[in-house]
């Protein structure tokens, strides 16, 4: 009886210790490695953690307060009027007192939620400051960034003390550092997701927020659109990740992606034929592999794609930048250097697809492998890092 009683105490103690180990706590450093190499912090995946906007999108694409607690439209003066949040301090500890926040209404209200419209204060010494839960303590463009918790943040202080980010890291180096416990979070390519999950590695993914597409100049678009075997490419090269698509914007964002079906029709492609120069954007192994299959598919349909600079056909990654159809479509057109047809999001997308200036192929998520000592790491719908609630505890195996 005494033995059973002692065992019961031990069991209760073990459960209590396990619960304590899983309880969020303050302190520690999160180590992230990525192949991204933004030119400045405001264009990085962590930009929203440092620089905040007046209003923001939630995960459903609805507008929510941020540095402004309310907003209205003054129709008589054609102005947007925002009410600033009180008790906000900049990263140097000085108060944020913006005064009246009024702007011309020549842009839709959603534009103020863009990351590009974040509040950035430039000091005479050339320092850039924000109001977010973290502030930048070290920045080497394309190499390294170090973030520290903002103890004076107007919201809840982050659990982490700091975040160390190594940028422009090759996939092999990231994988090695992750396995050796030198990195807590690393990029996970779509082609690696199945293998990583089989190994028991935790994967955190965004929604499908990246479009792989062909940007086309000239008259080869029609033939190419019917020559590509999307499903074969997705199953072999992407290992089943994401989804094949005929739409520019993903279904979760619009709800009307089904209006743009895709099909492979070799006979129809052969009837058009043609020749075009072809290029793959950047030094991207996955895009190169997809590009090789596209060239083979095109050859089967009598279309000759030859490599060249200033190519008429470009294989590109096009990010879905915002959880808002109109803004996301506009940014895709800008990135692809294509004029966006006028109209609402649906009409503009329909016109762009019909013109064959853009041939959508796949929608993919952004994914990261996450170590065992990392808790509550999550990504926004468009792949932005949310580290406000992340905490670290335990050891990497």
Q: What is the pLDDT of residues 116-140, one digit of tens each?
A: 899 999 877 777 899 999 999 999 9
**Average pLDDT score over residue span 333-342:** 93
Please, which pLDDT band fits residue 394 given cuts at 50, 70 and 90?
low
46 pLDDT above the threshold of 60: yes
Task: Look at residue 232 and tell me if it is in a domain.
Answer: yes
What pLDDT score does 42 carry?
73
Identify whether the C-beta of residue 351 lies closer than 8 Å to the C-beta of residue 343.
Answer: yes
Which of the 8 DSSP states describes residue 123? Answer: P
**Same domain for 357 and 234?**
yes
User: Based on the domain organization, do 359 and 386 belong to the same domain?
Assistant: no
pTM: 0.88
What radius of gyration, in Å, describes the C-alpha atoms of the chain?
24
What is the rounded CA–CA span in Å between residue 339 and residue 388? 38
237 and 108 assigned to the same domain: no
Shared domain for 218 and 281, answered yes or no, is yes
Give the pLDDT mean for 257-269.
93
Tokens of 175: 């994988």
Reported as a single tens digit per residue, the pLDDT across 150-181 is 999 999 999 999 999 999 999 999 999 999 99
Residue with tokens 């966006």: 340
Are residues 70 and 94 located together in one domain of the fold? yes
- Considering the domain architecture, whether residues 296 and 167 belong to the same structural domain is answered as no
Q: Based on the domain organization, do 75 and 164 belong to the same domain?
A: no
Reported as a pLDDT band with limits 50, 70 and 90, residue 219 is confident
Check the CA dihedral 236-237-241-245 and report its sign.
Answer: negative
What separation in angstroms does the CA of 292 have from each of 272, 286, 305, 319, 357? 21, 10, 10, 22, 20
User: Is a pLDDT exceeding 70 seen at residue 276?
Assistant: yes
Contact of 168 with 35, CB cutoff 8 Å: yes
Residue 396 has pLDDT above 60, yes or no: no
What proportion of the chain, given as a percentage, has pLDDT over 90?
Answer: 79
The reply to whether 213 and 109 lie within a common domain is no
CA angle 98, 99, 103 (to 5 degrees): 85
Provide the pLDDT confidence category of residue 395 given band limits of 50, 70 and 90. Answer: low
Q: Measuring CA to CA, how many Å separate 311 from each of 111, 216, 358?
A: 33, 9, 14
Q: Which residues contact 240 (CB under 8 A, 6 or more apart)?
A: 194, 234
Residue 12 lies in a domain: no
Q: Would you say residue 21 lies in a domain? A: no
pLDDT of residue 21: 53
Q: Within 228-372, where are the H helices? A: 230-236, 251-254, 266-272, 285-300, 325-336, 345-354
Strand partners, 138: 146
Rounded Cα distance between 222 and 348, Å, is 18
Mean pLDDT in residue range 387-393: 95
Range of the domain at 380: 26-51+132-184+371-397
86 shares its domain with 147: no
| 271 and 358 fall within a common domain | yes
Verify that 216 and 360 share a domain, yes or no: yes
59 Cβ neighbours under 8 A, 6+ residues apart: 323, 380, 381
Average pLDDT value for residue range 271-300: 90
Specify the pLDDT at position 128: 85
- Is residue 82, in this structure, part of any structural domain at all? yes
Domain CATH code at residue 248 = 3.10.105.10
Q: Is the per-residue pLDDT at 376 higher than 80?
A: yes
Question: Region 53-67: what's the mean pLDDT?
Answer: 94
| Main-chain phi, psi angles of 24, to 5 degrees | -55, 140
Instruction: Determine the pLDDT at residue 123.
Output: 79
CATH number reported for the structural domain that contains residue 100 in this entry: 3.90.76.10
Q: Are residues 313 and 220 in the same domain?
A: yes
Residue 3 maps to a domain: no
pLDDT attached to residue 122 = 86
Report the domain count for the chain. 3
pLDDT given for residue 311 in this prediction: 86
Residue 43 resides in a domain: yes
- The answer to whether position 292 is within a domain reads yes
> What is the mean pLDDT of the segment spanning 65-72?
97
Helix or strand holding residue 141 (H, E): none
> Looking at the domain assignment, is residue 19 inside a domain?
no
Mean pLDDT of 212-225: 91
């Amino acid at each position: 009886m005494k033995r059973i009683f002692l065992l019961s105490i031990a069991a209760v103690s073990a459960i209590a210790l396990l619960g304590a180990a899983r309880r969020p706590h303050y302190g520690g450093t999160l180590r992230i490695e990525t192949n991204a190499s933004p030119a400045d912090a405001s264009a990085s995946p962590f930009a929203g953690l440092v620089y905040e906007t007046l209003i923001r999108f939630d995960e459903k694409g609805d507008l929510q307060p941020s540095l402004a607690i309310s907003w209205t439209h003054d129709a008589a003066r054609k102005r947007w009027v925002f009410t600033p949040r009180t008790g906000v301090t900049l990263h140097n500890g000085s108060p944020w007192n913006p005064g009246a926040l009024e702007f011309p209404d020549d842009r839709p209200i959603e534009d103020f939620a863009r990351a590009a419209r974040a509040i950035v204060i430039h000091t005479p010494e050339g320092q850039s400051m924000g109001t977010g839960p973290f502030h930048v303590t070290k920045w080497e463009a394309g190499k390294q960034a170090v973030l520290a918790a903002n103890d004076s943040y107007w919201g809840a202080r982050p659990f982490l003390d700091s975040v160390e980010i190594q940028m422009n890291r090759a996939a092999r180096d990231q994988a090695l550092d992750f396995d050796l416990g030198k990195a807590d979070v690393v990029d996970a390519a779509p082609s690696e997701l199945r293998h990583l999950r089989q190994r028991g590695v935790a994967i955190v993914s965004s929604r499908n927020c990246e479009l792989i597409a062909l940007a086309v100049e000239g008259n080869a678009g029609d033939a190419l659109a019917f020559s590509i075997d999307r499903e074969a490419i997705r199953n072999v090269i992407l290992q089943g990740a994401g989804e094949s698509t005929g739409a520019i914007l993903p279904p979760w964002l619009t709800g009307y992606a089904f209006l743009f079906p895709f099909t492979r029709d070799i006979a129809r492609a052969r009837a058009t034929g043609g020749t075009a120069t072809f290029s793959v954007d950047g030094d991207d192994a996955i895009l190169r592999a997809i590009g090789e299959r596209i060239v083979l598919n095109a050859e089967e349909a009598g279309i000759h794609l030859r490599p060249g600079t200033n190519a008429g056909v470009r294989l590109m990654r096009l990010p879905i930048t915002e959880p808002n159809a109109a803004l996301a479509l506009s940014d895709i057109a800008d990135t692809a250097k294509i004029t966006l047809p006028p109209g609402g999001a649906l009409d503009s997308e329909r016109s762009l697809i019909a013109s064959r200036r853009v041939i959508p192929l796949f929608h993919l998520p952004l994914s990261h492998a996450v170590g065992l000592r990392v808790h509550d790491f999550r990504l926004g719908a468009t792949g932005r890092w949310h580290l406000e609630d992340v905490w670290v505890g335990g050891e990497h195996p």
